[in-house]
Structure 1
Amino acid sequence: MSAEHVHCDLEGCQDHGCGCAHDHENAGKSLMREIIILVFAGILVVIAVLTEYSIIPVKEIETPAALAALVLTAFPILKEAVQGLINRRWDVCELAALALVAAVLIGEFTAAAEIALILTIGELVEDYLYSRTGKEIKALLSDFPTKARIIRDEETIDVPIEEIRAGDRIIIRPGDVFPVDGEVNEGHSDVDESFLTGESLPILKNPGDMVYSGSVNLDGVVVYTVARPADQSSYAKVVELVKEAGTRRPPSHPMIDRFAKYYTPFILLIAGGVVLLTTDLIRGITILIVACPCALLLATPSAVLAAIGPAAKKGILIKSGRYLEICKNISVIVFDKTGTLTSGEMNISSIIPEKGISEEELLSVATAAERKSPHPIAKAIIKEANNHGIVYSGPVTGRHIPGKGALDTIQGSPVIVGNRDFLHENSISIPDAALDSKSNINHYETEVMVARDGQYIGKIMVADTLRHDTKNALVSLRKLGYNKIAMITGDNQNVAGTIAKELDIPESMTFAGFLPGQKEEYIAKLQDNGEVVCFVGDGTNDGPALVRADLGIGMGSRENTLALESSGVILMQEGLSSLPSFLSLGNLTSRTIKINIILAMALNLILIIFAGTGSISPVMGAIGHQVATIAVLLNSIRLSSCRAGV
């Protein structure tokens, strides 16, 4: 298994705000160089313009400054235009290049330099926004073990995971990550499989049980037999699914491309017609200059930047403008459960003491016994005790029993904390009422029973609870018109059904027991049925679904980063409260882009009329076209100050 770099096809490299097929693969590496070039070109254009209007009284430097600026900025535009013609593609790149060449041919070097500078700014903005996610697979693999401790010929040796063979026996200690899939031979331990299933509760593994690569051993020492080599393991399959899903991502075309398809030939027809009717070549060239769609090209990136700024301040990281534009088309929102709708962390849901025992006393006894345990449930109990101001300062003498609980002696009294089987093993009698109450336990709760001096004194219920803002977030989504909401999870049906009922998610839209591949398949099925899918998740097991969805939104509070880097949008704040804000902002951004396009085309139409009637010169045309560009930018800036989105 290797950390191959995922090609930029994951993001649809041919999609660019200017409608040109720019290669973004090395955009990050050359960004600083492009900025430096752009700054020098801008200085030269300013000098040329100031000289044009005699503000700088040295007329001789105007043409050299304009030509120097053209040398720095025009080549990529002309290159893309030629490639477009070769590929029989007519878009705004061809029109822009034609306007540049025409302006140069009639000696309007300053006008040509202005046009090239604005085009370059638009392209640089898109390069800055462009993001690739495949490279993060390398970062994920760096956290995965590269070696394993195996038993061969009665000796324990460390070998690279690539050399592990089916049938090898591996020793796994507490805190270790299982490097390959296999079957437990010796030992008992709780295992965190949230990497694969999203299930937050640890699973007790006994001899004969399967363990999977990417899972974390929490407490006991385990010896297991390898079932399959590393490149066929569960971990490798999840990473491969992310890559494969990325290659199937449907391309996203910015709104400007649809206009460009008709805009360029329309303008060429007008310019040619004016020249034929008036026999005035200058009028035709002026039309090309004023119609050069700089304002149109900036309609999308300027609005996107205006939206991304305030969103980032609110903890919403948007990787590309395409994810803002698609919000208006979303027809179904699919949520993963664990870590997305729920907190992904163990919390105390209730404390049920026996008669004569207070909740504080029960919690104090349990905390004292669990202090040495690394188990998530123990951490939840200790956290709850801290919240109640309960601090036990006695010596740590307790013993953690993997998969069962903990033993300790508190102030001379033996204490047992764990599941009911553990108490039965230690001859603790549990009242019938406590046993019968199991049927009343919420399906996502785990009971922790406590005994002292050989007597049962109560139990503590631990659960992976809903995030505090989940219900309000879903209500807000429905108010925004997103009424089709589904939930998929690796948990069992009881857990899924309980959560879905609390959130008013229909049973027909609730799916349990899904592995990563099945989640991705479900998203694909929805898309095949014509749905535009937004998937919200965290955890590495959500990676394939996040990449496959039309809009993948990752929760930024988890330590595992693959799902975050597979997402188009990351919610960095805890909870889902920022999700409705982002979707609202996306809709507002789309409306702003539409207004920008209408504004740019209306102003261009007015300038074309003036140019066609000979009312303006090429230089005045260039100034007028700058005014149109400024109008679009001001409209986008209005978006950045609007509070409707975030």
Structure 2
Amino acid sequence: MARLLKLARRYWIVTLTLGIGLLGIVLALTGAGAAVPWIFSVYALGVATWQAVGMVRDILRGHWGLDILAVTAIVATVLVGEYVAALLVVLMLSGGAALEDYANRRAKRELDALLTRSPQHAHRMEGESIVEVLASDVRVGDVLLVRPSEIVPVDATLRSDEASFDESSITGESVPVEKHAGDLVLSGSINGQAAVEVVAAASAADSQYQQIVALVTAAADSKAPVVRLADRYAVPFTVFSLALAGVAWWASGDPTRFAEVLVLATPCPLLIAAPVAFIGGMSRSARNGVIVKGGGVLEQLAAAKTAVFDKTGTLTYGAPTLVAIRPEPGFGEDQLLAAVASAEQYSSHVLATSMIEAAKQRGLPLAEADWAREAATNGVTAELDGREVVVGKFAFVHEHAPEAERTDIAPGQLAVYVAVDGRFAGAILASDRLRDNAAATLARLGELGVHQTMMLTGDAKATADHIAAELGITRVRADCLPADKVAEVAAIAERPVIMVGDGVNDAPVLAAADVGIAMGAKGATAASESASAVILVDDISRTAKAVEIGRDTVRIALQSIWIGIAVSIGLMVIAAFGVIPATIGALLQEVVDLVTILAALRAIGGRLDAKAEAADRDIRSLVTTR
């Protein structure tokens, strides 16, 4: 109820129009019907005057829309005494504007959430005391304490000997970065499992995360508004309608003929069709796990020519997985993996979960350790069934097994080394696995007309090239900072451009692209806030689905507009010969409006999605049968 009241206040002109109509019904039923024509007519002319003022302002700014025809239609219906039709035209006019405004409001989410999620506080060390201060109060040279799992408040250098930081939200790299004393630590990074000391190297305003926030704001403000779909047909439809009405008046010598034609020329098909279709398309998108923030986004998706992708967490799963086990003589693969997974139960490293999951998938039992200890950023040592197992970096394992040798790894891979009772036992390789449907998604985008693809990532070039080669992406830019991504997207000639990403580091480029799509299931809130669309499930194929829905929605909107225009023109031509009285014309026009709305409602897409699901089931059945 509160939501309805809020909508009623926001779209007060629609509420007032409905109230006037209800008042007219009450007066007619209570014997005061003589006042209804005056009330309806005065109200309609008042709205027409208000619209005319706005129309003149728009014309002075060089924008020609549907207001000329709308104002003329309202005045004409009043002059011929069709006061009910006049009120209906006002309702359709205000209702169409309300629907369009409702859709566009969803495209204008404030960036306040991003601002409030930036680092707010810091723990400054003052002598023997630790004082909590605002991040904005931190000065260069301040010594700060960053507790386990806390966000680094400002760019700083590491004072502690070593530490591990999750920089995935800044650089896009899924594997925690190991830092040593003197290394730079970026604001927005998440500390590992041990408290560390850092020395502020920049103020909050000059730090990485806060600069990302500024980039998002600037990019969002610089986006050009999308021209309303209906406005593209407004001028020719208006000119034709007025010309036909004028010819009918001139040929017949009867001014009533002018009104009779214009009653059938109300712009409701143009006003209603596109907003209803876009609302339907947005609903369909939501049903398919994609939140689209406005009808203009669907238009851009429908026309997209280029798709740009982040790598980590977008084209890949964003979590390292087991790719190879390389045991030394005397050790088996399962034996080595079981030992590693058992020891990793006592580690907080991101690879620990991957190793444990890999062992479980093979049905390997995990042993409980008699004791275990983790050396931060290096590895873990555990006693399992009376044997000492050491797992971690090469240098860490080499200290326990001097004969250990480095293993060859491919781009995008990392190695976990293992020693058992002081003897080198082998290595296990892991990598961030490519999403199973990434290639199919790119192929589907090509079928939908998005023929240009590109990858932008903060990862190393070798890793980026490796992933791009697997997917057939020829345009790659690696080692990108957020500002680099924005510049690359701005330089693309084949537009509109879709950008798909998931981390805070992608937020600026998502805002700068024609359509930014955030992988919001596990991605950063900053990415979701700055994007034009958010995928709610961890499935990159929804990118292609969003483009498909955009194309379907625009197609249905155009079909609905042309259905309304064609029927209206046909009726106007008939009315020009005096065959259709104004009263009948007004009723017929409402039928045209109803037909237009019903046609536009097809964008909700129930049948389209059901047909697609049936096709998918047929394909899966065929594959299973084979």
Give the TM-score, by structure 2 length. 0.89
C-alpha change, 1:355 and 1:619, in structure 2 (3 Å) is farther
Partner of 2:430: 462
CA distance in 1, matches of 2:102, 2:491: 33
1:62 CA drift (Å): 8.0
Write out aligned runs for 1:192-207 (5 A). 192-207=166-181
Tell me, yes or no, if structure 1 residue 64 matches structure 2 residue 32: no
1:32 Cα deviation from its structure 2 partner:
4.2
Q: Give the Cα–Cα distance (whole angstroms) in 2 for the partners of residues 235 and 512 of structure 1.
A: 20
> How many Å separate the matches in 2 of 1:402 and 1:268?
78
Work out which of the residue numbers 494, 500, 510 in structure 2 matches 1:546: 510
Counterpart of 1:228, as a letter, is: A
CA apart distance, 1:39: 6.7
Look up the match of 1:516: 482
The one of 329, 342, 347 equivalent to 1:355 is 329
Question: SS at the partner of 2:105?
Answer: coil
Residue 491 of structure 1, aligned match among 454, 459, 463: 459
Aligned residue number for residue 238 of structure 1: 212
Deviation at 1:200?
1.0
Q: 2:56 aligns with which of 85, 99, 102?
A: 85
Structure 1 SS opposite 2:111: helix
Which residue is equivalent to 2:255? Answer: 281
Q: 1:484 offset after TM fit, Å?
A: 1.4
Unaligned runs of 5+ in 1: 1-26
Moved more, 567-576 or 491-500: 567-576
The partner residue of 1:152 within 101, 113, 126 is 126
The residue number in structure 1 matching 2:418 is: 450
Structure 1 CA distance for aligned equivalents of residues 602 and 109 of structure 2: 35
Which ranges of structure 2 fall in alignment gaps of 5 or more residues? 614-626
Amino acid at match of 2:481: L
Instruction: State whether residues 199 and 338 of structure 1, in contact with CA within 8 Å, keep that contact through their aligned partners in structure 2.
Output: yes
Once the two structures are TM-superposed, the CA of residue 377 in structure 1 deviates from its matched residue by 1.0
Determine the structure 1 residue equivalent to 2:9.
Answer: 33
Q: Is the alpha carbon distance of 1:524 and 1:66 closer, same or farther for their aligned partners in structure 2, counting shifts above 3 Å? A: farther
Post-superposition offset of 1:35? 6.7
Q: Which residue of 1 aligns with 2:616?
A: none
**CA gap 1:322/1:385 in 2 versus in 1, 3 angstroms:** same
The sequence identity of aligned pairs, in percent, is 31
**Aligned in 2, Cα 1:386/1:28: closer, same or farther, shift over 3 Å?**
farther
Equivalent AA in structure 2 for residue 484 of structure 1: Q
Assess if the C-alpha contact under 8 Å between 2:111 and 2:530 holds in 1: no
Matches within 5 A, 1:409-448: 409-430=383-404, 432=405, 435=406, 437-438=407-408, 441-448=409-416
For residue 105 of structure 1, what is the aligned residue in structure 2?
Answer: 79
Q: Hey, what does 2:309 align to over in structure 1?
A: 335
Question: CA contact under 8 A between 1:272 and 1:284: conserved in structure 2?
Answer: yes
**Pair 80,222 (structure 1): closer, same or farther in 2 beyond 3 Å:** farther
Secondary structure of the residue aligned to 1:592 is: helix
Query: The residue matched to 2:159 in structure 1 has which SS?
Result: strand
Report the Cα distance in structure 2 between the residues aligned to 1:588 and 1:236, rounded to whole angstroms.
39
- 1:266–1:373 CA distance, 2 compared to 1 (3 A): same
Q: What's the RMSD between the two structures over aligned residues?
A: 2.8
How far off its partner does 1:189 sit?
0.9
1:394-426 CA distance string (max 9 Å, x none): 357321212211111122221111011111123
Asked if the contact 1:130/1:320 (under 8 Å) is kept, the reply is yes
State the partner residue of 2:622: none
**Pairing of 1:218-237 with structure 2 (within 5 A):** 218-237=192-211
What's the TM-score once normalised by structure 1's chain length? 0.87
Deviation at 1:243, TM superposition (A): 0.7
Deviations 1:20-50 (Å, cap 9, x if unpaired)? xxxxxxx999524357874785586489699
Instruction: Look up the equivalent residue of 1:514 and give its one-letter code.
Output: C
For 1:198-237, what per-residue CA distance to the aligned partner results, in whole angstroms no more than 9, with x for missing partners?
1111111101110110011113332221111101111111
CA distance in 2, matches of 1:467, 1:195: 19
Q: Tell me which moved more, 76-85 or 243-252.
A: 76-85
Q: Give the aligned partner of residue 15 of structure 1.
A: none
Q: Tell me the CA shift for residue 489 of structure 1.
A: 0.4
Cα pair 2:419 2:425 within 8 Å, conserved? yes
Per-residue deviation, 1:132: 5.0
SS of the residue 1:462 aligns to: strand
